[in-house]
Each structure stands twice: as structure tokens, then as C-alpha cells.
Amino acid sequence: MRFMGMNKQDWILFIGFSVVTLLGPIIFSPIGAGYPDLLQKFAIYGIFALGFNILFGLTGYLSFGHAAFLGVGSYTAVWTFKLLSMNPIPAIIFATIIGGLFSAAIGFISLRRTGIYFSILTLAFAQMSYNLAYSVLTPITNGETGLQLTQDDPRALDVALGRDYGAVLPSSDLFGIDMTGYPGFYFCGVMLIICFFISLRIFRSPFGMMLRAVKSNQNRMNYTGLNTRPYALTAFIISGMYAGLAGGLLAVTDPLAGAERMQWTASGEVVLMTILGGAGTLLGPVIGAGVIKYFENIFSAFNDNILEQAFSFLPETLQHIMVQVSSLFVGEGWHLTLGALFMLIVIFLPGGLMEGMRRIRNLFVSKPPGGTGSGGSADTPVQNPA
Amino acid sequence: MDAILLQILNGLDKGGAYALIALGLTIIFGTLGVVNFAHGALFMLGAFCAVSIKAVLGLEKVTLDPTQTTAWGTPLEIRQPYVEAWFGDLGATLLEYSVPVSILIAIPVMLLIGIIMERGLIRYFYKRPHAEQILVTFGLAIVLQEIVKSIFGANPIPQPAPDSMQGMVDFGAFLGHEAGNVVYPIWRMTYFLFSLGVIGLVFAFLQFTTFGMVVRAGMADRETVGLLGIDIDRRFTIVFGIAAIVAGLAGVMYTPILSPDYHMGMDFLVLSFVVVVVGGMGSLGGAVLAGFMLGILQSFASMNEVKEIIPGIDQIIIYLIAVVILLVRPRGLMGRKGVMEG
Amino acid sequence: MSILNIVDLNKSFGGLRALSNVNLSIDKASVHAIIGPNGAGKSTLLNCFVGRLEPDTGSVTFDGKSLLGIKPHEINQLGVSRVFQTPEIFGDLTVLDNVMIPGFARRDGAFRINAWNPVRRKGPIAEKAMAMLKDVDLDDKADQIAGQLSRGDKRRLELAMCVVQDPKLLLLDEPTAGMSRADTNKTIELMQTIAKRGVTMVVIEHDMHVVFSLAHKISVLAQGTVIAEDLPEKIKGDPRVQEAYLGGAHL
């Protein structure tokens, strides 16, 4: 029962994932998330987290600098729009390549160290990129204003093909299909599906097994004749390419790139997405990205009026107190919720939501003890070291 | 020559702040084995101790004086802080010196915060992987800064230094150079001396007390000290409290230099972490040395002469040095072998 | 015909002379035991073979190539595998994965991006790994997470991980320490089978029962020097050995 080397469970997982993604507008509409702006955020940050997971989830290297690659991807994509064409395909290709090159350089140096030293090195590089984007690199990044399109951009390829956008500011379009609204989402959605497929292949491959071995015991790897550093570096570059692509897609849906995308708190966000969903699991990071972007959207839209309605069933004083307390966590206070969530997950559920689901499932289905086979299971978790 | 002297001076106060935060970070790491990303938040909380104390001291009694009217014809409001009303000149002095006064109050407050943090959260993470320690303390840092933001708002709140300490010292004249070339604000000088004092106290405490000896032994070899039947856990709670005090005091005294806002902790955290790593994780001397070194280098990098040669260097100098040092000396300037690898 | 030659090896730690002028030559397809009191430098010696330690002076030649100055993974790729005193395994992975990884290392070399095709449970590497697990009685635990195995099982797993690579030289650092008598006997049997396949083995061991049931030749190390090297039956009666090793008591 194999097709293209993948077994039945994996095909079911992949097809299920694709169906859910493509039917997103219908599936997520009951929870109020069925509109393209939010859905494409799910998809884009899903890609970002999927890539980060290949590094952190499999090899255990905790990078605190991945937002830099996201930012680089955005800048690259906007420049491609400006110089070449408003077609998103060259933009995301360049964003991925430049993200990969950038991460190859940073990864090559950072991976000379492990543990916290590695984290600090990646953090240092990301902060350097961020600071430079705001200062001396202003000609490339347009500093605080952010890089934007202008009417008189050269757009060499578009001009050569006789495409003229007239006097309006162009938006990105795929052979005439405007990349806003649903087409924009579907473009990102298809990318997400492709990225998920690649991630699935990596997880099931001998290469994926080697990456898990890097996390588990580098010493043993060396004495088994395996050179650990190129494995970790490859994972780093792949995750950098995913981040570059995600950054490029952000620019496709909204052709604007700012340095704040590169700040280290943004790197922290992708760590949270991955952990929340479950580092080292296939689906977890996408779920984590979706949950966070969903709640960010809902929570930051809340205001006192909505809260008062929500608690209107309570007596007035109680209602007042509840509104006061909960308003700390919503709207402007969304980051407080995020921080608290971060702590709760790390304290109580280090395996993330996927681990939680597994625990719940195990409550109902009693399974024989022991792990699952490497080739056959649907989603082999990598256990956290004790 | 004067320019160089001036830059060294300029780097001292920032270097002092880095050194104080890094010192606490490295003590916590060395003793408890915990990577504390919430340490910057302690610095920030210290700064907001000063803000709150000033606010409390500045609470005003409002009385209406019916004999006088304002331009709009309403009775004139006379505002007078309660401390002044109650204690007269002493009250006025208290208000004036609110920043130094805050130190006295910040010490017990920070100690308490430190102990609560350690007992309530950190101790459960002694045996967990460093990645999880980083993540949970990172979450805590976000929570703390958002709470501060919701109480004090998002804008920086200026805290003036006492009037008598607002002037400049003319260092050039002091050293026999031409007057007016090397001037340096008194408060920043004070900060530098203050940070030296605190560093001195911490070192003396670790060097000359039995408690300090146990802590140093614990930093060298935790297992063995535990085997000696010494209750290191309780001592380590106190160590955490002390580190919190040090970071908090660094924050209190820094408020006249940098108006505190809720994200100052995060800003300093990243830099202080770089300082700790450059100095060598778990090395006290390294943290202090690297703190001042990076502070001074940063101020050199922001000289126009330097920026003309290497544009943007002021923005990245600290990170650049961190990268170079980590690659050349993997364990930092004074780090021990085997700490934090893997 | 010797496969491993150690000439005038010296290693000091600070002022402590851990190895001084060690000369050894290990015959191909033999089992060579290194015994000696604690602190004699046995583990230090082994560490010099696999790139964990760099000796101060001297040479280590394996199969005509020097093992000094090259990385552990390169040494392994030359055909040297090592079992550690405390088992080094991939604790987060399944037992089967643990044995397949060395298989991939043997097939694909030190680094290869083999990221597209899934790991298959039916294929030469998986089948060889399963056969190996059967040899060490772990085949029924193939799907367990390796970190959850008992200590004895971990040691056998590590042995399997090394043997599955078909090494030319297998280094074992106290392979039976802490094992029950029954487990020890099983391990001896296993090592005898491996030896019969023509794998050269260097064994550090304290358990004389293990040493005398396996070794073709024994070297005695004391205070960093080889004080005796001979056939097992001769070593037994050597007074120098008894003096150094047991302070005069009889073996």
C-alpha cells in the first residue's frame, strides 16, 4: 500500500490536511475565521512554523533569530515587485532563495556552538539585521517607514511584456488574478500544502531520522561516523527558506515590508507557535500558528463594549469586575494573554497541543505501552528530553 | 585625548547597568543552573519601583482657596504634596530625592519579588532543559511587562535626578586639561560609582561570608555541596532574591538617565545576555568586565569619527563583538569549560 | 598481522602523566584485552584511538592510516566503532531507529541529504537491523523508545549499534560492568560470535571471567605503562601483574 514511497496513513494525513486548507473558508467560518485576511495569516505563519519546526523540533537547536529570515523574505519580495514584476511567483522564488542564502551564512557561523550559545548567536545576528535595517540600510529598507511600492517603480519584466498599471498603485497579481481576497488566500494555501508535503517527506526520511539523532545524542552520532554539523546546517537552511517564503508571502498579500518583522519578539512568536502546537510533531506547528493568529485576531479586536455584552448575564457589580479583569487580557493586553499562554504551555504541556490531544485520546483508547514504529505511524513524536 | 576620555566616561554608566544585570544573570545561572530571560523584567520592575514611590510621595492634597480666584473666576486650587504638608521641609527633601530614597524601599520589594518568582516558578525548572527555562522565563517577562504597561501606560515616565545632582562635572579641568572639554553629568557619574559599590558589596558578600562561600562552592560543584548536607535550595532562593535586588537597584538608579517604559527590560535583557555570554556563563568577574567593556565600546562606536569609517557600527557593535568572542573563545572571556554546552 | 599499532604514546593532564610510552600492537581478528587497576589509564588510551583525546606524542596507526588529528566520525568511517562505559544511545528514538542509523552511516557516509524517500521497514538496512536486534535479544522491543530500556538492554543495544556497522575494529569499554551474571554470560556469547566473524576487538574489562573467556592476548596497564603483555594463561601467573594488579594476591 505505498504510492510514491508514502504509506496509507501519511497519504490520508496529507489529503486531509489539503482538504482542510482548501475548504478553510467554509470550515473556519463557524468560528468567525472564514475570511481571507485571517486565513492567509494562518497559512503564512503555518509555513513559518513548519520550517522552524524542522530546525527546533527535529534537531533541538533553539534559534532566537528566525524573524530575520522572515523580514529578509519580505524585503526581497517587495524589491522583486519593484524591479521585476508584480507577479508573485518570481517574488516568492527570490524570497525563498535569499532567505536560504541568508540563513546559510548565519547558520554556518552560529552552528559552531550549541546550547544557549547557539541561541545567543542567532539572537545577535537577528538583532544586528534589525538594527541595520533601521539605520544604515535605509536605502534598501526605507527605515521606519517600511519598504513600499511606488507608481514609478521600474518593473522591468512587466514593462517588457507590455503590462502597464496606469496611474494606480499596482497590487500583486498572478497572471491577471489579483492577490487580494480569496485568490490571495488560495495562493498562500497552496504554498502551505506544498510546504507541508515537503515537511512530511523530510520527517519520514532517513535525513529526518538523522536530525532527530542530532537532538538526541550528538556524541553517539559522531562515534557512529556521522558528521553532525552539516545535518544541523541543512536543517537551519531549510527552515530559513521556509521563513523567507513566509516573508515573501506576507509581501504578496500586502506589498509592504518593515523592520519590525525582524525584531526578536517576532522570533519568540514563532517559537511559541511551534511549542504550543507541539515541537517535533508534523501538524502541531501549523495548529499552533493558527491558534495564535486566531486568538490574536479575536482578542485584539475585543473592547469593553463587547466584554460588557459577554458578561451581561451577571449581576452588575460582578459584570463590572469581570469586564475590568478580562479587559487586561484583550485588546491592547493581548500580549499579556500570549505571555501567560507561553508559560502555561511550557509548565503544564511541554509537548504542546498535539501532546494534549494524545493524552486525551489515550484516556479513551487504551493502547499497549511503547512507542510507535518509525516507518508506519501517522505522527511520531520526538520526546522532550527529561 | 579628551575625546577618548569622554567616550570612556560615557560608556561607564551604561556599562555599570549592563554589569549589574549581567552579574545577577550569571549568579543565577551559576548557582541554580537556570537561564533567566525574565531578568530584564526585574531591572524594569526596579525602575518602576522608583516611579511608584515618586507617585506615592507626590500624592497631592488639593485645597480650594476662596480668597483667590483664577483667571476664569473659579477658586484657586492649591496643590501640595501630603509629605510636604505633613513633614514640611523633610517632606520636600524626600520628594526631591525620590530616586535615591526609592533604593531603601526597592530592596525589600525586589527581594520579595525575587523570592516569589523563585519559589513560585523557577524552582520547578531546575532540572528542565535550558530551552524550556528560556521559554518559561520569556513568557514571564512578557507577562510582567504587560502588567506594568497596563498600570503605568505605554509612554516613558521621566524621573528627574535631585536638583543638586543635575549639573555636570568638569573632568577635563579636574585632570588639568582645558576646562569645558570633558564634562560629564553628575548623575551618570553617581550611577557609575553606585554600580561599583553594589558590585563590590556582592563580591564582598560572596568572598567573606560563610553564606557566600557555600554559594561559590555551589557554583563550582552543586552536586557535591548538596551531598555535604547543606540545604542549598533555601540558600539559592536567597541568591535569587539578591540577584533580583541587584537588578532592581540598577533599574531604580537608571531612571534619571533613561525614562522608564515597560519594554526597557527586554531592551536591556538582550544586551545583558550578550554581556553574560561574552564574559562567560557563570563567571562573576567575566560579567563585570564584559559589562563595562561593552558599555565603553558602544560609546566609542557612536562617535561620529568612527561612524564615518564604518557606518552603522554603533547599532551592531555589541552583537558583533559577541559573535567574534564566541567564535574565538567559545566559553567567553572568563568562562569555564563545559558550562552550557549541549 | 597487526591492524592497530600504538607507538610511544604519551598523554599528560596538567602534571599527571596518564600514559607514558605506551606501545601496543593489536593483531587482526583477535580479541585483545586491556586490564589494569583503576586509574591505570585504560579509558584514556581508548579515548586516544577514537579522537576524543589528542595524545601529546606518539602515533596511533590503524590499517596503515594515522588516527591522530582526524575527527571521531572520520575515524568511525575508517571502520572503528566504540562501546562506551555508560551507554551512548539515541534515547529519544526507537530501538530499531537506533540500529538503523549506524546502517545509514555505513551506507551513506558521514553526511548525505536523503530527505525525499521515507525510511522503510522492509529494506536491506531495516532487515539487517532487525537481524542484529535478534542477535542481542531486543527484537521484541524494536518499537520501544530506547531511553526507556533497562541499563543492561541499553548496553546490548549499543553493542548492536556498533556491530551492525561491520567494524574492522571494535573497542569496548567495560561492556559488562553492572550486568547480572546471566546477562554477562549472554554478552560473552555474543562477543564470541562477533569475534568469530573476524572482527578485531579491544576490550577493557575488570571482570576476569569475561577477560579469560574472550581474550586471545592480554595487556596489563599500570600507572600509564604496559607492564606485561602475553597470552592469557601466562598473564595469570606473571608475578609483576599480580603485584601491580592485586598487590600480591592470587588471581
User: Per the CB < 8 Å rule, is C114 touching A374?
Assistant: no
Q: Which of these ranges, A36-50, A210-224, A316-330, has the smallest mean pLDDT?
A: A316-330
Cα–Cα dist A359/A349, whole Å = 10
Q: Which residues pair with B183 in a beta bridge?
A: B170
- Of A207, A215, A223, Cβ closest to residue C92: A215
**Which three cell numbers mark A72?**
529578509
Cβ pair A383:C92 closer than 8 A? yes
Distance CA A151, CA C250 (A): 97
- Tell me which fold the domain C1-79+168-186+195-251 belongs to: Rossmann fold (3.40.50)
| Confidence category of residue A379, pLDDT binned at 50, 70, 90 | very low
Mean pLDDT over A217-239 rounds to: 95
- Which ranges of chain C have pLDDT less than 70? 244-251
CB–CB of C8/C25 below 8 Å?
no
Give CA angle at A325 (A321, A328), nearest 5°: 145
Spatial contact of B2 and B10, defined as CB atoms under 8 Å apart: no
**Burial degree of A345 (CB within 10 A; 0-12, 13-18, 19+):** buried
> What distance in Å separates the CA atoms of residue B107 and residue B249, rounded to the nearest whole number?
7
**In angstroms, rounded to a whole number, what is the distance separating the alpha carbons of residues B250 and B11?**
15
In chain A, count of helices (H) and strands (E)?
18, 4
Inform me whether the pLDDT recorded for A310 exceeds 90.
no
The residues that bridge with C61 in the sheet, in sequence order, are: C5, C66
* Residue A185 located in a structural domain: yes
For chain A, the average pLDDT equals 85
Q: Is residue A386's pLDDT more than 50?
A: no
What confidence tens digit (pLDDT) does each residue in C82-117 have? 998 888 999 999 999 999 999 999 999 989 998 888
Distance from CA of A54 to the nearest CA of C (A): 12
The string of pLDDT tens digits covering residues A42-101 is: 999 999 999 999 999 999 999 989 999 999 999 999 999 989 888 889 999 999 999 999
Q: Helices (H), strands (E): how many in chain B?
A: 15, 4
- What is the reported pLDDT for B336? 63
B324 touches chain A (CB under 8 A): no
Instruction: Report the residue of A120, A129, A144, A217 to disrupt the B interface, i.e. the one with the largest count of B CBs within 10 Å.
Output: A120
Q: Do B132 and A346 touch (CB under 8 A)?
A: yes
Residue numbers in A near C120 (CB within 8 A): 5, 375
Q: How far is CA B231 from CA A255, A305, B119, B220, B226, in A?
A: 60, 53, 15, 16, 7
End-to-end CA distance of chain A: 37
CB–CB contact A219 C110 (8 Å): no
Q: From its phi and psi, is residue A385 left (phi > 0), alpha (psi between -120 and 50) or beta?
A: beta
Burial pattern A73-107, b for ≥16 Cβ within 10 A else e, equals bbbbbbbbbbebbbbbebbbebbbbbbbbbbeebb
Cα separation, B192 vs B200, whole angstroms: 12
Residue-by-residue DSSP string for A27-47: HTGGGT--SHHHHHHHHHHHH
Of residues A60, A128, A271, nearest to B316 (C-beta): A128
- Residue located via cell numbers 553564606: B211
> Does A128 reach chain B within 8 Å, measured CB to CB?
yes
Is A255's pLDDT higher than 80?
yes
The C-alpha atoms of residue C210 and residue B139 are separated, in whole angstroms, by: 54
Which three cell numbers mark C215? 581474550
Which residues face C218 on adjacent strands? Answer: C33, C230
What domains appear along chain B, each with residue ranges and CATH number?
A: 2-57+97-328 (1.10.3470)
CA distance A35 to A217: 45
Structural domain tally of chain A?
1
Task: Supply the pLDDT for residue A375.
Answer: 39
CB-based contact C141:C149 (threshold 8 Å):
yes
- Secondary structure of residue A52 in the 3-state scheme: helix
Closest residue in C to A218 (Cα–Cα): C90
Taking CB atoms and an 8 Å cutoff, what residues of chain A touch C129?
Answer: none
Q: Are C133 and C87 in contact (CB under 8 A)?
A: no
Question: In degrees rounded to 5, what are phi and psi of residue B176?
Answer: 90, 10
Q: What is the pLDDT of residue A29?
A: 86
Greatest mean pLDDT among A204-213, A328-337, B187-196, C135-144 lies in A204-213
Comparing CB atoms, the residue among B127, B143, B312 nearest residue A339 is B143
Provide the edge-to-edge strand list for the sheet that holds C169-173.
C80-83, C169-173, C200-204, C31-35, C217-222, C225-230
Contact between C251 and C232 (Cβ < 8 Å):
no
3-state secondary structure of C250: coil
Chains A and B touch (3+ CB pairs under 8 A): yes
Q: Which residues of chain B register pLDDT less than 50? A: 338-342
Residue A89: C-alpha distances to residues A68, A190, A255 (Å): 22, 12, 14
* Cα C159 to the center of its chain, rounded Å: 8
More confident of the two residues A28 and A314 = A28
Q: A155 lies in a domain?
A: yes
Distance CA A100, CA A247 (A): 12
Contact present, A155 and A164 (Cβ < 8 Å): no
Q: Is residue A192 part of a domain?
A: yes
Strands (E), B94-135: none
CB contact under 8 A, A225 and C93: no
C90 vs A217, A371, A372: nearest CB: A217
Q: Which residues in chain C are contacts of A204 at CB distance < 8 A?
A: 118-119
- Tracing cell 560470535 back to the chain, one arrives at C193
What CATH number does residue A26 fall under?
Answer: 1.10.3470
SS3 C34: strand
C73/A217 touch (CB, cutoff 8 Å), yes or no:
no
Q: Residues in chain C, how many?
A: 251
Q: Which site among B25, B122, B137, B142 would you substitute to test the A interface, given the most A Cβ atoms closer than 10 Å to its Cβ? A: B142
Evaluate whether C217 touches C235 at the Cβ level (below 8 Å).
Answer: no
Q: Name every residue whose Cβ is closer than 8 Å to that of residue C249 and which is 6 or more positions away in sequence.
A: C242
Q: Is the pLDDT confidence value at A357 over 50? A: yes
CA C191/CA C205 separation, integer angstroms: 13
CB B249 within 8 A of CB B42: no
Count of CB atoms situated within 10 Å of the CB of A314 = 13
Is residue A330's pLDDT more than 80? Answer: no
The residue whose grid cell reads 525563498 is A96
Alpha-carbon distance of A12 to B84, in angstroms, equals: 76
Q: How far apart are CA B197 and CA A80, in angstroms?
A: 56
Contact A278, A355 (CB under 8 A): yes
| CA dihedral for B244, B247, B250, B251, sign (positive or negative) | negative
Query: Which residues face C173 on adjacent strands?
Result: C204
The C-alpha cell at A352 is 504542546
Output helix, strand, coil percentages for chain A, rounded to the nearest 5: 70, 5, 30
Cα atoms in the 13 Å half-sphere on the side-chain side of C97: 33
Which helix (H) or strand (E) segment holds residue B310: the answer is none
Domain around A240: 8-264
Dihedral angle, C-alpha B144, B148, B154, B159, nearest 10 °? -120
Work out the burial of residue A277: count CB atoms within 10 Å of its CB; fewer than 13 is exposed, 13-18 middle, 19 or more buried: buried
Tell me, what amino acid is at A22?
L
In whole angstroms, give the CA distance from residue B245 to residue A90: 55
Q: How far from the centroid of its chain's Cα atoms is residue A231's Cα?
A: 21
What would the grid cell of residue C96 be? 530499531
Structural domain boundaries in chain C: 1-79+168-186+195-251, 91-166
Site of grid cell 535595517: A133
Q: How far apart are CA B266 and CA C227, in angstroms?
A: 62
Whole-complex ipTM: 0.90
User: In angstroms, what CA-CA distances link A366 with A352, A360, A382?
Assistant: 21, 11, 21
Q: Residue A370 above 60 pLDDT?
A: no
Range in A75-79, A154-158, A341-345, B24-28 with the lowest mean pLDDT: A154-158
Element (H, E) at C8: strand C2-13
Tell me, yes or no, whether A279 lies in a domain.
Answer: no
Round to whole Å and give the CA distance between B242 and B248: 10
Percent of chain C with pLDDT over 70: 97
| CA–CA dist C210, C188 (Å, integer) | 7
